[in-house]
Chain A
Amino acid sequence: MNPLKVEGIVKQYGDKTAVNGISFEVSEGEIYGLLGANGAGKTTTMRMVLGLIYPDEGQILYNGKAYSNNELRNLGYLPEERGLYPKVRVSDQLIYLGQLRGMSKKDADKNLKKWLDRFEVPEYYNKKVEELSKGNQQKIQFIASIIHSPKIVILDEAFSGLDPVNVELLKSTVKELRDTGTSILFSTHRMEHVEELCRNITILHRSNVVLKGSLKDIKKQFPKERVILNTENEITGLNQIVGVTNVVRHEYGYEVGIANEAVGGDILRHAMGQSTITRFEIKEPTLNEIFIKTVGGDSHE
């Protein structure tokens, strides 16, 4: 039985439908990506999973059981809008939050120290949050959401506002959590993070599910439309090949748009006739492209 199962939840605010029939399951030790443009309904979905809002229709099951206040202890939440008490010491408020989720003071203190060491900032224990830089506040916020070792963690925009070094640090932590069996519901606008971390994703667009499934399957649905071609000499006449939609010349070579995969062979043959080829690749669409295609396409209406 999966730790988190969402079945066709619908939420309406007045006339506006915020979430329209979303279903997904997150298994143990899985990071599930919830993607969508701003205002697509991600936060509302997450709030429903957290039990803050009740869905109008559908249900959410936690290990097969409906929501109750006891589930709060199994849930960890990193909200998109960060927030901690600015004038309270890190140790005080994190132990407080740990205690609110049913930990003993001693355990909370132990976990806090462990995590501060993990993030290489043990000296923040006695600092006030307002004294920390934004990136470091982020780390503390992250600890706040996982200090009680929850079974289900919801990360809304986990890596925003962090420098590359800290992104890597947090990413490896998230992977660690996954490997210890935590189910993670993950939302971000950075598609490369999703490609790296998530097995299954759901893309929301205007309250509706537009794409859902494993990353691999989704990518297969989209045709390979780009060829990367690096050559030693200049190639001419790429435009004339049937099926080529556009040619962009880069510093390193060419990026050729193709109508279908078969055209790739024609390009290769054409290029071989003119020069030595250093690189030839028919590229899979990136998630970024898929996202823009499914979501961005009609947002310009």
Chain B
Amino acid sequence: MNSFWTVVGFTLKNKFRAKAFLITTLIIAIIMTIGINLPYIFSQFNSGDKVSQIGYIHSKSAEDSATGDQLKAYFEAQEKSDIKLVPYEDKGSVSENEKQLKQAIADKDIVGYLQFGKMSENGFPEMTYKSEKLMAYESTSPIQSALQIIRQGTILHDAGLTAEQLALLNAPIEIATMQISATDGTTNVDDGKSLEQQAVNMGLVYLIVVLLFMAIMITGQLIASEITAEKSSRVMELLITSVSPLKQMFGKIVGMFLVGLIQVSVYVLVLIINVSLPHNNKLLEQFNIDLTKIDPKLLIFAVLFYLTGYLLFATLFAAVGSIVSRTEDLGQAVLPITMLSLAGFYISIFSITSPDSMLVKVSSFIPFFSPFVMLLRLGLTDPPVWEICTSIGILFVTIYVAVWISAKIYRTGVLMYGKRPTFKEIRKAMKAYKI
């Protein structure tokens, strides 16, 4: 057991001494910090008074400019509008008006202007928005929706509705949802997960699934590439004559797991520190996250599936890493495992809105997918206990088998050099070695 921890310690120490690792961690932490503070940084830049001014020709005689006035009144009535219409005096001729408005754009008084044509069937005149920008949807779409509301208001007003009736018509409708267990015997009315609880649980499931996937992809690759590197630098011959291969393999897996865990902890810490900065307080309130609403049972399952899922994939990565002799060949060799974890990840992520589909049910029993998918079911639905037990049982058996096979392959693979051995060669060689 002693030399096992020596391997773990050595793995950890080397990783944290490696500049590449430290720099990567630092860069990701910085990107996270920037990402979290980005909304705040942006809000500092457009501090309120960034209003696009849009010009139009206001003439008392013409009917069309009434629309311009209506729009102006509408946007002024809005509490916080980033569009403001500015009337310009009618100069008498179209070309004169055009010139006047163009001058206004050149002077940066307005960003563009609306030109009205003849009356159309929809109750408004034909309109052209002219500006120096390409595809100026950000200006035209608020105008469009404003006109829609203006029209609605006019028609309803003409129909003789009172202001109260209007307000009633626009009042939002809400339905509360609660996720319950149909097989659960309790008759308590409040039993079940409220919307907030669901949201928090979904968030947790999402987080764990992503973390697990990241851990598998990053640390799995690291395990495989470190073993291959040890093999290609031939230090492996010294290692296997110093410590039993099984201890060596698991030392590496556990060491890498701790590396990943520490890395993730750093990120989580950065996240917490940044979110709890005073200027980001509002943000947190907006999302309405109450961490006390996490189901403790789900948390335990999350940790369990995280550990088992990691162990299962890590042993496979170690086995593959031990077969390959050169780092260049590694990418291709780990592809099947990567695909496997990718499949589990995607099934879980894409089924987050339909956690009761057949695909989810079936794949929650398939060992390579179950760490992702069963967790999804646990978080979002209430699967029967026997299904949970079966899934975990299958997973454990698979891990046992995977560990045994991986240890065998590892023992054999580390001494095989040259081209990537075929399955037949591995099987033949496996008989020659004892774990």
Contact = CB atoms under 8 A, between A and B. Distances in A.
A54 B234 contact: no
Interface in A4-33: 11, 13-14
B3 A100 contact: yes
Contact of A77 (B2, B10, B230, B238): B238
Interface stretch (A82-90, A195-203, A251-259, A264-272): A82-90
Contacts of B6: 96, 99-100
B242 interface: yes
A274 B10 CA distance: 76
B167 interface: no
B234 A79 contact: yes
Interface residue tally on A, bucketed by range? 20 to 34
B283 to A, nearest CB: 42
Given A100-B3, A100-B6, A83 B243 contact: no
> Is chain B's interface secondary structure helix, strand, loop, or mixed overall?
helix
B14 A88 contact: yes
A13 B239 CA distance: 24
Contact of A54 (B2, B14, B242, B432): B432
Contacts of B10: 92, 96
A100 B233 contact: no
B242 A83 contact: no
Contacts of A144: 238
A52 interface: yes
Nearest to B429: A13
A18 to B, nearest CB: 10
B237 interface: yes
B242 A72 contact: yes
A271 to B, nearest CB: 55
Nearest to A156: B237
B395 to A, nearest CB: 30
Contacts, number: 71
A57 to B, nearest CB: 13
B234 A82 contact: yes
B237 A100 contact: no
B432 A83 contact: no
Interface string A79-116: 10111111110001100110111100000000000000
A293 B387 CA distance: 74
Interface in A25-55: 47, 50-54
Interface in B1-34: 2-3, 6-7, 10, 13-14, 18
A52 B235 contact: no
Contacts of A84: 233, 235, 238
A75 interface: yes
Contacts of B238: 77, 79, 83-84, 97, 144-145
A100 B242 contact: yes
A13 B244 contact: no
Interface string B407-435: 00000000100000000000010001110
A128 B305 CA distance: 40
Contacts of A54: 432-434
Nearest to A67: B434
B237 A81 contact: yes
Interface in A107-144: 144
A90 to B, nearest CB: 13
Contacts of B234: 79, 81-83
A72 B14 contact: no
Contacts of A96: 6, 10
A278 interface: no
A240 interface: no
A299 interface: no
Contact of B243 (A14, A72, A79, A145): A72
11 contacts: A13-B432, A53-B432, A54-B432, A72-B244, A77-B237, A77-B241, A85-B230, A87-B18, A96-B6, A100-B3, A145-B238
Interface of A: 11, 13-14, 47, 50-54, 69, 72, 75, 77, 79, 81-88, 92-93, 96-97, 99-102, 144-145
When A and B form their complex, which 6 residue pairs have the shortest distance between CB atoms, in order from nearest? A83-B234, A100-B242, A79-B237, A83-B235, A100-B243, A81-B234
